[in-house]
Amino acid sequence: MLERRRILVPAALGYGANGKGPNIPPNSRLVFDVRPVQLVKEDLVVGTGKEAQPGSRVLVGYEGRLDNGTLFDASSMHPDMKPWFQLKAGTRESPIPGWILGVPGMKVGGKRKLWIPSHLAYGATGAGRLIPPHADLSFTVELLEVE
């Protein structure tokens, strides 16, 4: 998961006795809830076959989950389809940007966990009923073939 952190800033290190406009009174402690804004990758199994490059066409097995762990999609849910993706933007087979950045470097036989912040997934629009707006996602991706 993309870990969220809470940062507490004492008044003396924030706006102090002056405050800041109508929203931050004098001597206020500031609280910031933050999360990483970049893609996080973890290799679960390092493959030994052909390596996926940027722009490669790849066949994968995958599971996609919301930040709360809810499964929203998996290649096993579509047994009649082969999930081929083109690892570049703007094609009919283009996946979300987090995959375009996260899959290259994998080798056939490898399995990788991707934690994808919302701006590298479906952003402010979400995707249908399953993926709400601003949703961080995680995928477990197994690389099966590279063309």
Catalytic residues: 62, 72-73, 96, 122, 139
Bridge partners of 74?
A: 63
Domain hosting residue 18, numbered range: 5-34
Please check whether residue 93 is in contact with residue 84, taking contact to mean a CB–CB distance below 8 angstroms: yes
99 and 134 belong to one structural domain: yes
62, amino acid identity:
Y
How many whole angstroms separate alpha carbon 139 and alpha carbon 38?
15
92 and 28 belong to one structural domain: no
Per-residue model confidence as pLDDT tens for the chain (147 residues): 556 778 889 999 989 999 898 999 999 999 887 766 789 999 999 999 999 999 999 999 999 999 899 999 999 999 898 889 999 888 888 899 999 999 999 999 999 999 999 999 999 999 989 999 999 999 999 999 999
The total number of structural domains in the chain stands at: 2
C-alpha distances (whole Å) from 74 to each of 9, 10, 63, 81 are 41, 45, 4, 11
